[in-house]
Amino acid sequence: TVSISKHDEL
């Protein structure tokens, strides 16, 4: 599932 705290994409 998505880790919203770290959006690691540009």
Partner 1 sequence: MNVFRLIGDMSHLAAIIILLIKIWRSRSCSGISGKSQLLFTAVFTCRYLDLFTNFVSIYNTTMKIFFLASSYATIYLIFMKFKATYNRNHDTFRFELLIVVSVILALLINHEFSATEILWTFSIYLEAVAILPQLFMITKTGEAESITSHYLFALGSYRGLYILNWIYRYYVEGHLDWIAVLSGIVQTGLYCDFFYLYITRVMKGKNLTLPA
User: Which residues are at the interface with partner 1 (CB under 8 A)?
Assistant: 1-10
Least distance (Å) from partner 1 to the CB of residue 9? 7
Exposure letters 1-10 (e unless 16+ CB within 10 A, then b): eeeeeeeeee
Residue 8 DSSP symbol: -
Least distance (Å) from partner 1 to the CB of residue 6? 6
Rounded CA-CA distance 3/7 in Å is 7
Least distance (Å) from partner 1 to the CB of residue 5? 8
